[in-house]
Structure 1
Amino acid sequence: MSSQPEVVVGEPKVRIDGRLKVTGKAPYAADHGHEHGIENMAYAAIVDATIGRGRITGIDTSAAEAHEGVLGVVSHENAPKLPYRENAGSNNLPGERIRVFQNDRVLFFGHPIAVVVAETLEAAQHGARLVEVTYDEESPTTDLEDGTPDEPTNYSRGDVEAAMADAPVRLDLTYNLSRNHHNPMEPHATIARWEGDKLTVWDKTQWVGDGTQVELAAVFGLAQDDVRVLSPYVGGAFGSGLRTWPNTVIAAVAARELDRPVKLVLARRQMYFNTGFRPAYRYQLTVGADRDGRLLATDHVVRAETSSYETFSEAVLSAGQMKYSTPNVRQDYRTVPLDVNTPIWMRGPGAATGDHVIETAMDELAYEVGIDPIELRRRNEPTEDESSGLPFSTRRLLECYDVGAREFGWSRRNPKPGSTRDGDWQVGIGMASALYHTSVAPARARVRLRIDGTALVESATSDMGPGTYTSMTQIAADALGLTLDDVDFRLGDSVMPATPPHGGSMTMASVGSAVQNGADKVRREAIDLAVNDTVSPLHGADPADIVVRRGRLQLRNDASRGETYRALMARNGRTRIQATGLFSPREEATKSAWAYGAVFAEVGVDAQLGLVRVRRMLGVYDAARIINPRLAESQALGGMVGGIGKALLEHTVTDHRDGRIVNANLADYLVPVNADVPDLKAIYLGGRDDYPDPIGVKGLGEVVICGVAPAIANAVFHATGRRVRDLPITIDSLL
C-alpha cells in the first residue's frame, strides 16, 4: 500500500476520454487516415465462401478486376506463401489456425477465400460480389447433437455413485445454452501499412503486444520489433478482440501485395463468421442432496462446440467444483468439433455458463425440498475452496445475500410459484449468485515525471469500455501526489511496456499494480533527491514523513515545510524522473481469490402472450477495492444488460444444411434495447483484498454478467411455475 493520501482513488470521476468519444473525436481503428500520417490508402473487401465445407475448384476474378477502381484481387491462387511460424501464446489455440489464402480448403460457411482491393470502399465491395467461385462441396456438420466429442477433460472427488445411490433427493437436469455473438458497436477493422519490411497496423484488438504484434510477426516471419500495433480506442469487444482473426492478416497481405496502405472493415454480417463467439453447450447435471437441502453429490456431463481445426475450451467447470460445499463431484467435459469457425472468450467466459446451470439447479433443489433459495445456498456455503483445499482470500458472498435481500425486499416475496399477479402479468422474483476468478498476470508501465511537474504514464494495455484511461490516471495521480489534469496516461501501442490481454478482469489488478509500482518509484526518487539536497526545505527529513499533495512535497504533519516537484527538479538540473513499474503474480497460490455477487431480478410474464419483461434488477458485488464507483456502476449495468440478452434474446441460428448463419445481422440477432432494460441498481461492498495484488482490487468486468441469466430464469419460474432450462427463454417455451 502507498503511504500517499487517497485523494482521487475511490472517487466517481468522469471518464477522461468521455468527451472525445461522445463528440466523435476518439479515433477508432478505421478512423485513422491522412491526419495520422497514412497516405494513399486503398480499401479492401473480403470474399466469403458460400458453402459449409469443401474445396475451391476455381476462382474467376476477371469481372472484378475489370470493374472501375479495383486494384487487384488476392486469393490462394496468387497469394504469397507465408511462414506462419508456430505461436503457442494465448493468441492461438490447440490445432492449426486458419492460414490465410494458403490452400483451397473451405472449413466453414463464410471462410475468407479472397480479398478485393480498390480505390474506394464501394468499388471494393462491388468487386467482391463480382468474383465467381466454384467448389467441390462436402456436407458440413454444424449441429452439436451430430458431432463426435473429443477426449474428455475429467475432474472427480469422492464417490459420486455411492452418494447418488444414497441421496434422498435426486434431480436429473439437462440445459441447452445457445451460441452467442459479441456484437460490439465497433466492427473489427484493420489498417495495414508496410515500410520496407516493417509493418504497422491500426487494429481493433484487446492485446496489442503479445497478441496481435506477436501473431503478425509469426505469420510473416518478422522480428517482433518489426511489427507495430496501435489501438488507442476500442469500441467494445467483450472478448472478440482477444486473438488475431484472419481479417487482420488479410489487410496486411493486401497492403504488401498492392504496396500501399489498405483499410479493411468487416461488415456486420461478417462479424458472425470471421470472429469468434460464445459456444453452444449441452450441460447435463445430476444433483443428489438430503432433505435439508445439503448437497451430497453432483455429476456433470458437458458438451461444447468447437471448430474442426482448433480446440477452444473455457473454465466452465469451476463453479461446479468449488462454488458450494459438495463432498462428491464428477465432471466430464468434451468439446465437439464442427464445421464452424473457432469460438472465443465472451464476457464472463465459462463462468457465465457454469453459473447459469449451477444456479438454476440450486433453485430447482430449493423448491424440491421446500427451502428458501437463499437459505439453501447458506446451508451449502463452503469454508474453503474444495477444488484446491486453499482458503479463500476473501469471500463475502453471504453478505451479498444479506444486502441484496434487504434492498430488494426478498422477505415480501410470496414463495409459491404463480401466486403473484399484476393485471395480465404474472410476477416473479428470483435470485442467483455469481463468481469469477481473480486473474492477474505480469505487467509493466513506464512513469515519467516531467520538468514542468506533470507526468506521462504509458502501458500497452487497452480500453474497450471499462475506463482504463481514467482508472489508471487515478492510480498514478494519487501515487505521485498530482491532480488528474497533471497526469497523461497513454495506452494501446505495442512499443509501450508489455501487459497481459485486456480481458479476464485482469487489467485493473495487473496493469494498475504496475502503474502504482512505477509511480511509487518515481515519487520516492524525488523524495530522496529532496532529503539529500542541502538547499531543499526537506533536507535531512525522514523520507517516511514526506507526502506529495498537488505536486508539492511536504512533511506529513507540517505542510509549511516543502517544495514543488518543479522547483526541486529545476534546481537539480533534472529534466525527468522516470521508472518502469513492474507487477508479477505470486509464484505459488496459497489462497483462492474470486469476485462474488448476488443478483436479484423481478420479471413480469404476460399470461396470454408468454412475453417476458424484466421489471427491476439488483446486483450486489464483492469485488474488493473500487477505484472508481462511477466506472464500476457502468460495468455492472452493462453486465446486467448483457445478461438480459443472454437470458431472453440472444441466439445464433444456423441452417445446418450448409452452415449458413441465418440471423447474421442486428435486425434478427436480438440484443437488448432501451425498452428491454428496466430499473437497474448495483451495490459494491468495497473493502480490499491484498492477496492477489498490492492495490487491493479484484476484477469486476466479468462477474457482473455471471448470475444475471439464472436470476431471470428463476424469476420466470417463480412467476409461472414453468421451468425453462434452455437459453434464451423464448415466448414459445412459455405458451
Structure 2
Amino acid sequence: MSPQPQAAVGAPLSRVDGRLKVTGEARYAAEFDVDGAVHAVIVDASVGSGRITSIDTRAAEKHPGVLRVIHHRNAPKLPYRDNAGSNNPPGRRLRVFQDDRVLFHGQPVAVVVATTLEAAQHGASLVKVRYDAGQPSTDLHEADPGEPTRYARGDAEAGLRSSAVRLDLTYQLARNHHNPMEPHATTARWDGDRLTVWDKTQWVMGTRDELAAVFDLPADAVRVINPFVGGGFGSGLRCWPHTVVAAVAARVTGRPVKLVLTRRQMYFGTGFRPSYAYRLRLGSDRGGRLRAAVHDIDAETSSYETFTEAVMVAGQMLYSMPNVSQEYRQVPLDVNTPIWMRGPGLASASFAIESAMDELAHELGIDPIELRRRNEPSEDESNGLPWSTRRLSECYTVGAREFGWDRRNPEPRSTREGDWLIGLGMAAGVYDPGRFPAQARVRLDADGTAVVEAATSDMGPGTYTSQTQVAANALGLTMRTVTFRLGDSLYPPTSPHGGSATMASVGTAVVDACNKVRRQAIALAVGDEESPLYGVDADDVVVRGGRLHVQGDPARGETYRSLLARNDRSHLEGDGDYPGPGSTERHSYHAYNATFAEVAVDATLGLVRVRRMLGVYDAGRVISPKLADSQAIGGIVGGIGTALLEHTVTDHRDGRIVNAGLADYLVPVNADVPEVRAIYLDGEDNAGNALGVKGLGEVVQVGVAAAIGNAVFNATGRRVRQLPITAEALL
C-alpha cells in the first residue's frame, strides 16, 4: 500500500486546545457545575500514628449550612474488593472511615458536608478529634527495611576486590512532591446505583475500576470524566482516598458533592517521589573500564502498602560491566504511600550513578564523556537482547559540540568570573518507556470530518494535539477537520497517561483505527463504478486533504464527502487496537539523553545559579516538535528543582510535613530557569511500535540533577552527595 502523506506529523503545530485554556473555557475537575452540588472538606488526622478515641461533631453539626459530618462511627461499611489492576501497590490500601486506626499524619478522619464551601471549611475546624497517639516512624535512616529485591550477574564483590580503582559512595535524595497547578479534586454524583465522578486523574479507567471495587459495583455502573488535567507529573496515576470520600459523602447525603484538596492536603492526600539512601560501590581498571558495581538502595514506602519503582534498571544496563549486584529495599514508614513522579526510579538512580561516573572520571583523570564511551555496551547486558536503537554516543557527540564542552577546564575551581565560580557538567540518561494495551474509535462523517475517541488523558504534554496529528495523517485529513476526544471512561479503554506510554500505546491504536476507516473508504471507491477510482488497485490510492487519489496522479480522485454522499453513507467507523509489546521481547527498548549544564556558584555565599542547559535526546520519531520542546523545557526545569530546591521536610516527632505549601516548599520560578535548548536526533524506532516513537516526557528529567551536581563540582571542587544541593553544603 502506498504510504500516506505526512502533512501533520512532524510539523511544529500549536495546541488545538490552546484557545480553550487561555480563555478559561477548558473545564477542570472542580469546575463542572453539577446541579444541586454541595461541598465537602476533609478533617485530617493531627497525629502520625495511633487510634481515634473520640470525635465530637456537635459544634460542627450546629453550624449553619452543615448537612452531615461523616466519620468511622457513622460511615457506611464499604466492600473494598481487591483491585491490584488500578496501580494499587501490594498491601492493604487505606480504607476511609472504616476503623479508628491512624496510619499517617493528615489521614482523613472525617468529612464535613455543607451547602457552601465556607460552611464546610468552618464546620471542619469545629470537629474535635481525640487520639491515643503513638510515636510515628518517619525517618528513612532510623527504620528497619523490608526484604530486598535482588539482581546479580557475575561476582560483584570479587570484581570490586580485583579492581585497581574502587569508590564507595552514598547519595541521599530528598522526598519530592509533584505540586501541579491544579489541585486534586472530585465531584461525585449518584443516580440510583450508578456513580458519576468528575475527577482529576491520569487514568480514568483506573479510577473507574477502583471505585467499582470499593463500592462493589459493576465497572459499567461507574463513569469517570476528566477532559483536562492541570498538571500531574504522576500524582494522578491512582485513585486517592479523597475520591472515595467524595463518593461516600454523595451517597450519604443524597446530593452531588464537590471536594477539592487544599495545597497543604495534597502533601499527604496524594503521593510523592520517595526519599532514597543510595550506596554505590564502583570498581574499574586504570583505563576506566568498569569491572563491578554494588548498589544498596533504601527507599521509603508506607506501612500499609509497598511501593516500588524502576530504580534498578539503569544500574543493570546503562554501562557495560561483567559484575553487578543490586539490593533494593523498601523501608515501611508511618507516611502515606508514594507514587511515581516524572522519570520515576530512573531519575533518582541517575543522580547516584551519573554522579559516581563523574567522581570516577575525576579520580582517573579521564574526560567524563570519554569514560562513558569506554563503557558503552553492545547489547543490553541485563537480558542479552539487542538494542531497538541506542544512539547515546551520538547524543554525547552532538551535545559536546553544541554546548562547547571543549571549553571545560577539568581542574575544579579553575574558572572564575568575578565572585562567581564557573563549572560545566554532564550526565547520561535512560528511560524505559511504557507500552500498554489501548483501544481507540474513529468515525468519519459524510461531511468529511472525523471524530476520534480514546479514554486517555492530557495532563499537559499535548495529547489532544499529537493524537490529532497522527489521526489527520492516517485519515488524510487536515488538522481542523479532525476532533480528538479523551478523558471519559465511556470511550475505548486505554492505559495510564504516564510513563511516556501514551503516544506509543494510544497513538498506535488511533493509527490502527484510522487506517481501517481509510481503507474502508478506498475499498468503497475502487468498487464503485461511478467513482473516478473505480478499478484502481487499492494499494495505489492515498488520501490528502480529505481527497482520495491515485498515488502519482492527483487529478484522478474524489473527496470523502462526494464518495459517502453518492453511496448514501452517513459515516464510516472503525475500532483500533494496540495489544502491547507481547509476552516475549525481541529488543531492549529505551529512550536516552545526554544532558549538559553550566553553573555559576558564588564563591562567598555558596549560591548556585544555573546559567544554561542542553539536552540531546534519542527518543525515536518526534510527532510534534513544538510539544517536544515544551516537554524538554519542563523536564529540565523539574530537574533543576530536584537538584537545588525541592525537599519535603518531615517533623519526625509527630509525622507532620513542615513545609506543606508553595511558600515553603521551593520550586523553580522564572528567575531560576536559564537558557534551555533541546536537540532531538532524527530517526525512528520501529522495533518498539508502528509509529516509531519512544516517548519523551520522562527521559527529559533523567540525569538533569546529576549534570547540575557535576557542574557544581567542576566549579567548586566540592562534591555534594545530598539533594537538594544547598548553599550551606558549599560553604
Which TM class, normalised by the smaller chain length? over 0.9
Indicate if the aligned counterparts of 1:426 and 1:719 stay in contact, CA closer than 8 A: yes
Tell me by how many angstroms 1:657 deviates. Answer: 0.1
Tell me by how many angstroms 1:90 deviates. Answer: 3.9
Is 1:191 paired with 2:187?
yes
User: Where does residue 267 of structure 1 map in the other structure?
Assistant: 262
Q: 1:161 aligns with which of 150, 157, 164?
A: 157
User: Where does residue 57 of structure 1 map in the other structure?
Assistant: 53
Rounded to whole Å, the distance in 1 between the matches of 2:628 and 2:132 is 52
Q: Which amino acid is the alignment partner of residue 27 of structure 2?
A: P
Indicate if the aligned counterparts of 1:426 and 1:720 stay in contact, CA closer than 8 A: yes
Rounded to whole Å, the distance in 2 between the matches of 1:208 and 1:586 is 22
SS in 2 for 1:91: coil
Tell me by how many angstroms 1:356 deviates. Answer: 1.0
Indicate if the aligned counterparts of 2:159 and 2:283 stay in contact, CA closer than 8 A: yes
Q: 2:724 aligns with which of 725, 728, 734?
A: 728
User: Where does residue 217 of structure 1 map in the other structure?
Assistant: 212
Paired residues for 1:96-107 under 5 Å: 96-107=92-103
Rounded to whole Å, the distance in 2 between the matches of 1:135 and 1:595 is 50
Q: Which amino acid is the alignment partner of residue 32 of structure 2?
A: H
Rounded to whole Å, the distance in 2 between the matches of 1:517 and 1:2 is 16
Q: 1:664 aligns with which of 660, 663, 676?
A: 660
User: Where does residue 144 of structure 1 map in the other structure?
Assistant: 140
SS in 2 for 1:672: coil
Q: 2:171 aligns with which of 169, 172, 175?
A: 175
Is 1:372 paired with 2:362?
no
SS in 2 for 1:712: helix
Q: 1:520 aligns with which of 509, 515, 520?
A: 515
User: Where does residue 110 of structure 2 map in the other structure?
Assistant: 114
Paired residues for 1:552-571 under 5 Å: 552-571=547-566
Indicate if the aligned counterparts of 1:598 and 1:620 stay in contact, CA closer than 8 A: yes
Paired residues for 1:564-583 under 5 Å: 564-583=559-578
SS in 1 for 2:471: helix
User: Where does residue 389 of structure 1 map in the other structure?
Assistant: 384
Rounded to whole Å, the distance in 2 between the matches of 1:457 and 1:686 is 28
Q: Which amino acid is the alignment partner of residue 83 of structure 2?
A: N
Q: TM-score, normalised by structure 1?
A: 0.99
Tell me by how many angstroms 1:439 deviates. Answer: 1.8
Is 1:352 paired with 2:347?
yes
Indicate if the aligned counterparts of 2:157 and 2:294 stay in contact, CA closer than 8 A: no
Rounded to whole Å, the distance in 2 between the matches of 1:690 and 1:557 is 26
Rounded to whole Å, the distance in 2 between the matches of 1:107 and 1:651 is 22
Indicate if the aligned counterparts of 2:718 and 2:730 stay in contact, CA closer than 8 A: yes
SS in 2 for 1:414: coil
User: Where does residue 442 of structure 2 map in the other structure?
Assistant: 447
User: Where does residue 246 of structure 1 map in the other structure?
Assistant: 241
Is 1:626 paired with 2:631?
no
Question: Which segments of 5 or more consecutive residues in structure 1 lack a partner in the other structure?
Answer: none
Paired residues for 1:255-654 under 5 Å: 255-587=250-582, 588-654=584-650
SS in 2 for 1:298: strand
User: Where does residue 692 of structure 1 map in the other structure?
Assistant: 688
SS in 2 for 1:269: coil
Q: 1:48 aligns with which of 25, 44, 51?
A: 44
Q: Which amino acid is the alignment partner of residue 672 of structure 1?
A: P
Identity %: 69
Rounded to whole Å, the distance in 2 between the matches of 1:605 and 1:474 is 44
Rounded to whole Å, the distance in 2 between the matches of 1:716 and 1:88 is 43
Question: Which segments of 5 or more consecutive residues in structure 2 lack a partner in the other structure?
Answer: none
User: Where does residue 69 of structure 1 map in the other structure?
Assistant: 65
Rounded to whole Å, the distance in 1 between the matches of 2:12 and 2:255 is 45
Q: Deviations over 1:672-730 (max 9, x none)?
A: 00000000000011210001110100011000000100000000000000000000001
Q: Which amino acid is the alignment partner of residue 542 of structure 1?
A: D
Indicate if the aligned counterparts of 1:457 and 1:488 stay in contact, CA closer than 8 A: yes
Tell me by how many angstroms 1:309 deviates. Answer: 0.3
Indicate if the aligned counterparts of 2:182 and 2:230 stay in contact, CA closer than 8 A: yes
Indicate if the aligned counterparts of 2:86 and 2:207 stay in contact, CA closer than 8 A: no
Rounded to whole Å, the distance in 1 between the matches of 2:254 and 2:232 is 30
Rounded to whole Å, the distance in 1 between the matches of 2:115 and 2:143 is 44
SS in 1 for 2:104: coil
Q: Deviations over 1:440-481 (max 9, x none)?
A: 111100011001110000000000000000000000001111
Tell me by how many angstroms 1:2 deviates. Answer: 7.5
**Aligned CA-pair RMSD:** 0.7
User: Where does residue 22 of structure 1 map in the other structure?
Assistant: 22
Tell me by how many angstroms 1:22 deviates. Answer: 1.3
Rounded to whole Å, the distance in 2 between the matches of 1:171 and 1:39 is 64
Rounded to whole Å, the distance in 2 between the matches of 1:56 and 1:439 is 42
Moved over 6 A (4+): none
Q: 2:204 aligns with which of 203, 208, 231?
A: 208
Indicate if the aligned counterparts of 1:208 and 1:229 stay in contact, CA closer than 8 A: yes
Q: Deviations over 1:545-566 (max 9, x none)?
A: 1111111111111111111101
Indicate if the aligned counterparts of 2:471 and 2:510 stay in contact, CA closer than 8 A: yes
Indicate if the aligned counterparts of 2:198 and 2:225 stay in contact, CA closer than 8 A: yes
